[in-house]
Amino acid sequence: MPPEPVVLYVCTTCRAEGDGAEIRAGARLMTALAARLGAAPVPGLRIEPVKCLSVCKRPCTVAVASAGRWTYVYGDLDAESSAATILDGIGLYAGTPDGIVPWRARPEAFRKGVVARIPAFPPRAAPDLPEAAE
């Protein structure tokens, strides 16, 4: 069975703090992610640019969603240096049945940068999870 498709949303309108560059940090991150994914594909992963994920205070921002898996939103990501880390983290996510990567296995940028998580929609059976470290 092919892996369940995963969508990585990248906010292309994020501006880095003090960023006066003509191309916004979010757009630069999008370019970096696309280049990296081209060089090292993650099976089933598609990257989609989004105009504003409403996390404007914590640029750069991405979100990841997949049928039957929790959606996660991450911020505080560096436009220039985080593409590899993000794709590593998404690769771990893609390897789980529910989107929940064990806390210690997550990239530090995901542990520190988590903005929110939302249950799979439409809902399947809701597991009774420990609250911490999710």
Question: DSSP label at 56?
Answer: T
Query: Quick check: 119 binds a copy of itself (CB under 8 A)?
Result: yes
Please give the residues from 20 up to 79 whose contact with a copy of itself meets the rule CB under 8 A: 48, 50-55, 61, 63, 65, 67, 71-73
116 binding a copy of itself? (CB under 8 A)? yes
Report whether 93 contacts 79 (CB < 8 A). Answer: no
Question: Distance between alpha carbon 45 and the CA centroid of its chain, in Å?
Answer: 11
The CA distance from 51 to 26, in Å, is 9
* Chain residues in the site for a copy of itself (CB under 8 A): 7, 9, 13, 48, 50-55, 61, 63, 65, 67, 71-73, 114-119, 121-123, 126, 128-132, 134
